[in-house]
Amino acid sequence: NGEYEYVFKGVDKTDQNGNDYEYRVKVVGEVEGYEVTISPSGKTVILTKKIEKGKILPYAGAEKNIGFGVILVAMIGYSLRVLNEQRRINNIRRIRGIKR
């Protein structure tokens, strides 16, 4: 899920007089590609990955290609009709060539 946690171990909780240490985390410099957020207590650092917006691609759907599609379907339909007619003519010629 992209979440990481680090616990600092082996650090003293109190000084020699028994006073509690207060530890804070500080990000030095900039973390490229991330936005840094530090909690008000300073004990939690949140790195959020920046999402860069890419180019918006042009719409290439039916609106621009519908004319081409209609012409293509019409050409295929006409070609099938011509082929069917030619086959019918060839069948008639074959029948006429048969001697009875």
- Reported as a single tens digit per residue, the pLDDT across 24-69 is 777 777 778 888 888 887 777 888 888 878 888 777 666 667 788 8
**Structure confidence at residue 77 (pLDDT):** 96
From the number of C-beta atoms within 10 Å of its C-beta (0-12, 13-18, 19+), residue 92 rates as exposed
Name every residue whose Cβ is closer than 8 Å to that of residue 43 and which is 6 or more positions away in sequence.
23, 24, 25
Q: Which two tokens stand for residue 11?
A: 């650090």
Q: Are 27 and 38 in contact (CB under 8 A)?
A: yes
**Structure confidence at residue 100 (pLDDT):** 55
Q: Where are the domains of the chain?
A: 1-50, 58-100
**Structure confidence at residue 85 (pLDDT):** 92
pTM: 0.36
Mean pLDDT (whole number) for 2-14: 80
Name every residue whose Cβ is closer than 8 Å to that of residue 35 and which is 6 or more positions away in sequence.
47, 48, 49, 50
Mean pLDDT (whole number) for 71-92: 92
**Structure confidence at residue 84 (pLDDT):** 93
